[in-house]
Amino acid sequence: MNNYYSYIADSSLKLIKKYKTRDPFEIAGKIGIEILMFDGLNRLKGMYRIIKRNRFIILNSNNSKDLNRIVCAHELGHDRLHREFAKSAPFQEFALYNMTSRREYEANIFAANLLIDSKEILKYIREGYDTLQISKLTCTDINLVALKVDFLIRNGYCLKSQDFNSGFLK
């Protein structure tokens, strides 16, 4: 596995190990990020913003509980990987699975590794579950499962690569 993926995976795994949870809301609170819920954000699913050295994850209260968990994990990825960029402009998420932007792709890899345990997904694959079924079992999204499978392949597991849908949540 190259250093690029290793660094992103290690960033999420360090948080999991330190705080003994995969819950992005709990982790955000423990590292000093305030989570704000707002109504009326229309298509905006969430954003990460730094204002006067204070870090915020803003979520759309109209999102489902599972979607807000995914968005929160994605925004934690921006905090860990792209904090310098967020000081000048917020990361606004209208479509989480925008694979054309390197920063968005990295935040998605971070979220996949934070939310989906490697042993758990390998168990489901061995038991014959498909990507959609695994996404339901892990309360995530088919695109995060596909990213996690891609991550496992890069780690030497012999698995079938899955396609990502960059417009899935538009």
The conformation of residue 168, written as its DSSP 8-state character, comes to T
Q: Give the Cα separation of 82 and 79 in Å (integer).
A: 6
Return averaged pLDDT per consecutive 10 residues of the chain, 170 residues in all.
78 96 98 94 87 92 95 95 71 54 87 96 93 94 91 83 53
Contact indicator for 70, 96 with CB cutoff of 8 Å: yes
Structure tokens, 83: 């904090």
Which pLDDT score is estimated for 168? 45
Which pLDDT score is estimated for 91? 58
Distant-in-sequence, close-in-space partners of 118: CB < 8 Å, separation ≥ 6:
148, 152
Which pLDDT score is estimated for 160? 74
Q: Give the Cα separation of 132 and 68 in Å (integer).
A: 19
Which pLDDT score is estimated for 96? 52
Q: Give the Cα separation of 114 and 70 in Å (integer).
A: 10
Which pLDDT score is estimated for 129? 92
Q: Give the Cα separation of 69 and 110 in Å (integer).
A: 13
Q: Is the dihedral of CA 31, 33, 36, 42 positive or negative?
A: negative
Contact indicator for 144, 77 with CB cutoff of 8 Å: no
Helix (H, G, I), strand (E, B) or coil at 144: helix
Q: Give the Cα separation of 126 and 121 in Å (integer).
A: 9
Which pLDDT score is estimated for 124? 95
Among residues 78, 69, 87, 85, the alpha carbon closest in space to that of 106 is found at 78
Neighbours of 83 (CB within 10 A): 12
Which pLDDT score is estimated for 170? 43
Which pLDDT score is estimated for 98? 55
Which pLDDT score is estimated for 36? 95
